Amino acid sequence: EAQVTQNPRYLITVTGKKLTVTCSQNMNHEYMSWYRQDPGLGLRQIYYSMNVEVTDKGDVPEGYKVSRKEKRNFPLILESPSPNQTSLYFCASSLYGQGNQPQHFGDGTRLSIL
Amino acid sequence: AQSVTQPDIHITVSEGASLELRCNYSYGATPYLFWYVQSPGQGLQLLLKYFSGDTLVQGIKGFEAEFKRSQSSFNLRKPSVHWSDAAEYFCAVGGSFGNEKLTFGTGTRLTIIP
């Protein structure tokens, strides 16, 4: 089954404790991205990757890191999480790009930073 | 800069009634337009898309949307809603190039009453 898998689905942690949210897709997609969803703000893009070893900032990259060492994986790293990063996070992938391609989304990761 | 406005934060309709969700966009060229649905606890799922051609597009789950260039609108419609349609709906605008930005609206939450 074609899917985007995120782990963990839920996480409660404390300020400053490094965490990684994993994202994996099995559709051989070149493009992957991370969004955060906050009430009243919709989805805002954090980082995206057009292909392996190619990443770029989205609209709200501060406090986040990403890497794309393999085509299927695109982990999101919070090196020193803060309470304002409490949010619902989505990973997405598509064949080639963002603006002209339907995106396939994971089921989301709800992060709470205390 | 491109933008999407979904003027209705929350809409309540009776089961079996018709539905129209509004979406207005701002984009300098021919837009690529999408509607996504987010059911509780799940990621976003593509309902339909418009790239070119017929301005009335059909999607999954009985939804359709009409592109009106003169009004910069891409409203989503369904003739008769079902209780399972209760969800959050997002409109998004992109463009023809792969690295064009995809911008989401802030979403409309749909409640269905029996």
pLDDT per residue as tens digits for the range B64-77 = 999 999 999 999 99
pLDDT computed for residue A13 by the predictor: 95
A76 touches chain B (CB under 8 A): no
Instruction: List CB contacts (< 8 A) between A4 and chain B.
Output: 43
**Quick one: pLDDT at residue A99?**
86
> Out of A99, A102, A105, whose CB is closest to B100?
A99
Q: Is A39 at the interface with chain B, CB within 8 A?
A: no
The residue type at A80: S
- Note whether A107 contacts B106, CB cutoff 8 Å: no
Subunit contact B41:A103, Cβ cutoff 8 A: no
Phi, psi torsion values for A34, nearest 5 degrees: -125, 140
Q: Would you write out chain B's pLDDT as a tens digit for each of its 114 residues?
A: 789 999 999 999 999 999 999 999 998 888 999 999 999 888 999 999 999 888 999 999 999 999 999 999 999 999 999 999 999 999 999 987 766 789 999 999 999 999
Query: What is each CA distance from B67 to A99, A100, B10, B11, B25, in whole angstroms?
Result: 17, 16, 22, 21, 11
Residue of chain A minimizing CA distance to B41: A107
List the single best residue of A9, A96, A103, A110 to mutate versus B (max B Cβ within 10 A).
Answer: A103
Burial class (CB in 10 A: 0-12, 13-18, 19+), B90: buried
pLDDT tens per residue across span A20-30: 999 999 999 99
On whether the CB atoms of residues B112 and B19 are closer than 8 A, the answer is no
Chain A residues within an 8 Å CB radius of B100: 97-100
Q: Which residues of B touch A45 (CB under 8 A)?
A: 101-102
